[in-house]
Structure 1
Amino acid sequence: MEWRSAGLSWADQERPVLVWERGEVSPLVVGRRLGFRAVGRRQCVGARGNPCPVAAAVPARGTQARCADCARLDRAHSVAADTIADDPRTYRVYLAWFGAGLVKVGITREERGPARLLEQGAVAFAWLGRGPLMAARRAEELLRVALGVPDRISYARKRAVRAALPGVEERRHELARLHGFALALDGWPESLERVPSAVVDHGEAFGVERLAGAGGGFAVTELVDGGVVRGVLVAVAGPDLYLDDGGRLIVLDSRLLRGWRLEGAESAESAESAGGAGRTSVPVREVPVIQGGLF
C-alpha cells in the first residue's frame, strides 16, 4: 500500500495529525519516535479536493505542492485571494500573536473556530469581530493600518522567535492592550459585531515551553528521494514538527511533506548500532534565535 502525504491538520483543534492522500490520519504524540523516508518524486496534490490530472512533478522546496495549473484553480476559489465576494458565511476578524512585537491581523470562517490560528502557529490570539465577509475584509484593512501590523508573517520569522518567547502573562497583556485599542477605533463596518476581549493561548497545545533554551535547531529545507527524517517528537507548532534527533533539534515544516510518498525508516536502535548512520539525512539549515519580533 502506498502512503502519500497530504500534510498536517489541526482540524479537531485538540491534537495535530498527519493526513494521508486517501484520508487516513496518524496522530502526532509528543514523546514518540518518528522515522520516515521519502521515496520517488514529489507529486502535485491537486486542487479543491481533486487530484492533479497529470500527477505533475513539483519542486521539493515549495510549501504549496501544486503545479501551476492546480495552483491557479485553487486560488480562483480562495477567500485569501479576494476572488469570492458573495460568500454568505460568517467570518471572524482576529489578532494573532507569534512573539514579542510580532502580531498580525486576519480573518477566518467562523465555522472553523481556532483551527486557522493553530495552523498558522499563533501562540496566542483574540477575536475582534464577526460578520459578513466583505465587512470583515474592510475591518482587517482598517486594523492593519491603524495598529501598524501586517496581514502576513513569514514562517521563518515565527520559527526564529519561538525558542525565546516571553511568558503567558506578557503575551496576554500585549494582545489585550491591542484588542482594547482596536475596538475603540472609529470606522468599523456597521454590519460587523465587535467581540469582547478573551485571549486564547496555544503555548501548552504547541509545547513551546519544551523549546525554551533549546536554540533554534536545524530546519529541513527539502526532502529528497531516499532522504530520512528521524527523531523523538518534542513539540508541534503550527505546521512545524520539532524532533530531537540524537541531541540535535530538527524542525520539519510539514507542508514540505505534501505530495511525497513516505515509508517507515528503520528503528533508532538499529541506527545507533550502525554508528549513527541512520540520523536525519535530508538537507537542513540552522534556525537563528531572535529575541523579540524584529531582526
Structure 2
Amino acid sequence: MAQAWKCSGLRWVDGGPVLVWDGGRRSALAWGKRVSFGVVDGGVRTCVGARGHACPVRTGVSGRSTGARCEECARLDRAHSVAADTIADDPRPYRVYLAWFGPGMVKVGITAVERGSARLLEQGAVCFSWLGTGPLMAARRTEELLRAALRVPDRIPYAAKRAVRSGLPGTEGERAAEVVELHARAVALAEWPESLVREPCRPVDHVGAFGLAGLPGAVGEVSELVAGGAVRGELVAAAGPDLHIAVGDGDGDREGGKGVREIVVLDTRLMTGWELGPAGVGTGAGGVDESRLTFPLREFRGVSAVQDELF
C-alpha cells in the first residue's frame, strides 16, 4: 500500500508558497512544478483538530468545508483567534492595512507587526498598503471606523477574489489606484484613534509574487475533494491558499485526461483532513503522465461586485 500523507495547508515563507504536511515536512512550490496527488480510495475526511491538538473523536467533516473542523474544534480554534475579537490584552503592536483584490474589492484588516506582510500573502491580496500602527484595540477601532464611515468591508469572499484574478489591470499604478484614494480619505478622518500612528501610502504589488502576470483565465475551481479523485497538472500561479493548475493537453476533453489546456483553481484548504497519495490516474501510453482532473469542478460564471462603491 502506498504511503499516505496529510496536508496541513499552504504557507507563504519568504514570499513564496510552501505546502506543509503533518510531521513538519514542507514542499516548496515554483511555477512549472508538477502537481500530482489523489485521495486514497475509500478515504474519509476527518477533523484536523484545533490549536495544535488532534480532534478527540476524529469526527468526519464535509468535503466542501475549508476549515476541515468539527463544530467543537472550530469553536475552540476561533476562541483563541485575534479575528474573533476575544483577545483584548495582547501587548504586541498591530498594523491596519488596506488590501485590494480586484476592481471594487478593497478591504480593511489588521495584522501583528511581527508577521510582516505574511497575512496579505495568505489572503491573496493583489495590492496593499499599511494604514497605521499601534496597540491592538486602537487598530480594532480604526477597522470599525473605516467600516462605518467609509463603508469598507473587513471580508471579501474567496470565490469573488478567484473569479477576477485573470482580468486584473495591467499596471501597478492601475492596481494601486483604489488603495491610494481610500488611504487618503481614511487618514483624514477626524475620529482617528490618537494611539494609532498613521503610515504613509506605499502600495505593495503581489502580481509577481503570485505569478499572475499574463495568467490565462481560469475555467473554474475545485468544489471539493472526493475519495478516489485526483489531479495532475502544472502549477502556473498561487495566491493566498489557492493553486492555479494547468490541466489537459489540447487533444480532447478534460474528463478523459486529454483536453484543451485549461487553468483550474484548487483551494489547498480543501486538502486538509484527507489522506493523500500519488495520483493513480491518467497514465498514458508508454507510461507518459497526462494532465488530468477528476475532482468536481465548479465553473466560473462571472462575479457580482462585492461593494458598489468605496465611499
Compute the displacement of 1:136 (Å). Answer: 0.5
Structure 1 length-normalised TM: 0.93
Name 2:220's counterpart in structure 1. 218
SS in structure 2 of the partner of residue 210 of structure 1: coil
Q: Where do residues 87-236 of structure 1 align in structure 2 (5 Å cutoff)?
A: 87-167=90-170, 168-211=172-215, 214-236=216-238
- Give CA-to-partner distance per residue, 1:170-227, whole Å, 9 cap, x none: 112221121111111111111111111111100101111132xx22322100101110
Q: Classify 1:251/1:72 alpha carbon distance in 2 versus 1 (closer, same or farther; 3 Å).
A: same
Partners of 1:7 and 1:215 lie apart in 2 by 24
| Equivalent position amino acid for 1:205 in 2 | A
User: Are 1:252 and 2:266 counterparts?
Assistant: yes
- Give CA-to-partner distance per residue, 1:66-106, whole Å, 9 cap, x none: 11111111111111111111111111100000011110001
| Equivalent position amino acid for 1:157 in 2 | A
Compute the displacement of 1:145 (Å). Answer: 2.2
Partners of 1:181 and 1:74 lie apart in 2 by 35
Compute the displacement of 1:266 (Å). Answer: 4.8
Q: Classify 1:34/1:267 alpha carbon distance in 2 versus 1 (closer, same or farther; 3 Å).
A: farther
Question: Is 2:233–2:291's contact at 8 Å kept on the other side of the alignment?
Answer: no
Task: Give ranges in structure 2 of 5+ residues lacking alignment.
Answer: 249-260
| Equivalent position amino acid for 2:135 in 1 | P
Task: Give ranges in structure 1 of 5+ residues lacking alignment.
Answer: none
Partners of 1:59 and 1:50 lie apart in 2 by 20
Partners of 1:13 and 1:68 lie apart in 2 by 33
Compute the displacement of 1:52 (Å). Answer: 1.3
Name 2:85's counterpart in structure 1. 82
User: Would you say how many aligned residue pairs link Structure 1 and Structure 2?
Assistant: 291
State the identity as a percent: 58
| Equivalent position amino acid for 2:262 in 1 | R
Question: Is 1:210–1:234's contact at 8 Å kept on the other side of the alignment?
Answer: no
Question: Is 2:231–2:291's contact at 8 Å kept on the other side of the alignment?
Answer: no
SS in structure 1 of the partner of residue 175 of structure 2: helix
Match for residue 9 of structure 1 among 5, 8, 11 = 11
Q: Where do residues 56-67 of structure 1 align in structure 2 (5 Å cutoff)?
A: 56-67=59-70
Name 1:240's counterpart in structure 2. 242
Match for residue 48 of structure 2 among 35, 45, 52 = 45
Compute the displacement of 1:13 (Å). Answer: 3.5
Question: Is 1:16–1:28's contact at 8 Å kept on the other side of the alignment?
Answer: yes
Name 2:256's counterpart in structure 1. none
Compute the displacement of 1:291 (Å). Answer: 9.1
Partners of 1:126 and 1:266 lie apart in 2 by 44
Match for residue 265 of structure 1 among 270, 279, 283 = 279
Question: Is 1:18–1:28's contact at 8 Å kept on the other side of the alignment?
Answer: yes
| Equivalent position amino acid for 1:15 in 2 | G
SS in structure 2 of the partner of residue 179 of structure 1: helix
Partners of 2:286 and 2:153 lie apart in 1 by 49
- Give CA-to-partner distance per residue, 1:151-181, whole Å, 9 cap, x none: 1000111011111111221112221121111
Match for residue 296 of structure 2 among 264, 275, 283 = 283
| Equivalent position amino acid for 1:29 in 2 | A
SS in structure 1 of the partner of residue 56 of structure 2: coil
Worse-matched range after superposition: 169-178 or 28-37: 169-178
Q: Classify 1:204/1:154 alpha carbon distance in 2 versus 1 (closer, same or farther; 3 Å).
A: same
| Equivalent position amino acid for 1:217 in 2 | V
Compute the displacement of 1:273 (Å). Answer: 5.9
Partners of 1:106 and 1:293 lie apart in 2 by 16
Partners of 2:303 and 2:62 lie apart in 1 by 29
Structure 2 length-normalised TM: 0.88
RMSD: 2.1
